[in-house]
Every structure is written in C-alpha cells, then in structure tokens.
Amino acid sequence: MLKKLDKAIVRHSTLHQKLSDPQVAANRELYRKLAREYRELSEIVDVAHRYKEACRNIEEDQKLLSSSDEELAKLAREEILELKAKRQQLEEKLKLMLVPENPRDKGNAIVEIRAGTGGEEASLFAADLLRMYSKFAERQGWRIEIMSSNPTGIGGFKEVIFAVEGAGVYGQMKFESGVHRVQRVPLTESSGRIHTSAASVVVLPEPEEVEVQIDPKDLRVDVFRSSGPGGQSVNTTDSAVRITHIPTGIVATCQDEKSQHKNKAKALKVLRARILDQAQEENRQALARSRKSQVGTGDRSAKIRTYNFPQGRLTDHRAGITLYKLEQILTGELEEVIQALQTAERKERLSELDST
C-alpha cells in the first residue's frame, strides 16, 4: 500500500506541474483529462499525508516512552493509543480508495426506465424517476439527451430512454439498475388508499464505436410514422426508426426526432449499448454467482429501493440505509445514497482482491 501511495503522490505532483504548463493549458481536451485525474488523486494524497503524519507522530511518541519523566511517558502512551486508532481508520480509507476502478466507470451511460406493475401510477412514477435523474445530472454538471420515449396521456411514461454524458457518469448511475418501488396515494385514487407500484431501471455503459463494430449487413432498418399517447400519429412522415440486429435479435427504436437521420443515429447508439451489455451478461452472471452479496448492477429484477411518500422515507435495500428526506432526493440529491453504494462496492472488491 505504501508503494501505491508514494506513486500516487509523485503522480499528483507531476500533474500539478503539467497543469501549469501553457502548452497543456492550450490543449483543452488534454487539460480536461489531466485536471480530472488531478482531482481524483487530490483526495487520496490528502488522506495519504494525514496517514504518514500519524505514523511519524507514533514513532516520535514511542521514543518518549522510555523517558524518566513519568508524566511525559504517560501522555505519550495515551497519545499513541489515539494515533493508532486514527492510523487504522485512515489505512482502511486508503485501502478502499486504492481499489482499482472499472475503466467504464469514467464513461457515459444510457439509462432505460420502464413502468412496471401499477398501471398509470407506475407510468407517473417513471416520470418522477426521469425528473430525479435529470436534476441529479444537473447537480453533477452532466448533460442528458432523450433517446426515445413512450409517454402516456396524463404525463407519465410507459418507457423512456436517455443518454447521460459527463465525467464519471456510469460509475455513479450504474447503481440505479433494478426495480424501484413506490408507496403512495395515486392521483387517480379517490378513496385515499396507499398503492404500491414499480418501475424498472436499466443502466448501460455507452461503448465506443470501436468496441462494438456492427456490420451494416447485420441490420434490418424499418421506418414508420411516430405515434403519441393512445397511438395517434404525431408525424406525417415516416421519421421513426426501428433497427434490428439480426444475429442477436436485439431491437432499438427511436421516434422522438422529426428527422429520420437523427432517429437512426440515436437508435444505433442504444443498439450498440445493448449489444455490448448482452456480450457482458454471461460474465456478469458468473461473477454474481461467485459473490456472497450483490451490491451493484447484476440482478435487474431485484427490488433495490423503496420510495415511501406517506413517511417521506427512502430505503435502499442493498446499502441498508433509510433516509427521511424523500422530497430532497426526488429533486436530485442522490449523492448520499450513491456514496454509500460506492463504499459498499469498494469493500466488496477489496475483499475479493484480498482473497485472491
């Protein structure tokens, strides 16, 4: 661990010098890349300095244990106990911070939300989730683009698919995959009874084009007129696009744009992500079987979170946390939940690394 820390400190210092270089500053893309790495290392380096300081203080206090001044030796013993506890906490924190990241965590994501059990109430909840993620993305400085949607007549969604672009999107959004359950009195309920309904969320890493190469001969492209709630036509031209990847049978549809060309480009983006996801599914299932617990993104049929409106409560069943701040969370304050899940994932990965 100490070797890794020294390496991180040296790299942090090197990056600091590079970011001060006018030539680097002139290259916007390179500067952003190095600045992001510098920010990521800054927290590790800060904890590393505190850890090393605690180690040095322990060594200095140990020299005082043999002092002829009994009062001084007593104070040194007491301080050593405190410093060792502090060192242990910092060491555990550093171990988690030094767990290797999944390279995909730094990339973009494609998110699919679908209404589940609960009829119209489920579709309204799907719209609530879309707003929550949109607000969260805004807080993070990310950009959201709707790829495809199937709205209902009362403001909900049977399905909505959107891309999220920004730094570290997938590393945070991946924890949202699974079934989200809501408990509340629906707008359509006249008797005031609390109903339970659900929506499912799937988060896919957005692959680079070179990762998933698609032969145009393997695609069947169908065009048709876009339709809105109730099936009515909302476009007089055949601008909607459905693309089928013949070898896998995977289908992606987009009808939100008025341009057939734009719809095709968006559908291809979703299709590429789904093909990559299917290719990784076998490995993901094998990994899930080898784990005693499943923190992250494996079982999409699992109920991961409950939103209880009467109590203003959100419970995440994987992290084992309950927060009585539902209103704030629905306006995008997801950081506390995601940080708890990230910590749980790092602990699990650390345990796996220790056992190998």
- The per-residue pLDDT of the chain, averaged, comes to 85
> What is the average pLDDT across 93-99?
79
pLDDT at 291: 46
Instruction: Tell me which of 8-12, 41-45, 64-68, 281-285 is least confident.
Output: 281-285
Token pair of 125 as six digits: 């909840």
Residue 268 and residue 279 in contact, taking contact as beta carbons nearer than 8 Å: no
CA 63 → CA 11, 54, 66, distances in Å? Answer: 33, 15, 7
Res. 334: pLDDT tops 60:
yes
Class of residue 220 by CB neighbours under 10 A (exposed 0-12, middle 13-18, buried 19+) = exposed
3.30.70.1660, 3.40.640.10, 3.30.450.20, 3.50.30.10: CATH of 103-355: 3.30.70.1660
pLDDT at 244: 93
Res. 293: pLDDT tops 50:
no
Residue 177 and residue 338 in contact, taking contact as beta carbons nearer than 8 Å: no
Of residues 206 and 299, more confidence is placed in 206
Query: What percent of the chain has a predicted confidence (pLDDT) above 90?
Result: 45
Instruction: Tell me which of 39-43, 50-54, 92-96, 210-214 is least confident.
Output: 210-214
Domain with CATH 3.30.70.1660 in the chain: 103-355
Q: At a CB cut-off of 8 Å and minimum separation 6, what does 274 contact?
A: 204, 250, 252
Of residues 122 and 188, more confidence is placed in 122
Res. 115: pLDDT tops 60:
yes
Long-range CB contact pairs, 293-299, < 8 A, 24+: 293/348, 294/318, 295/319, 295/341, 295/344, 295/345, 295/348, 296/174, 296/175, 296/177, 296/341, 296/345, 297/174, 297/175, 297/177, 297/203, 299/178
pLDDT at 116: 92
> What is the average pLDDT across 119-142?
95
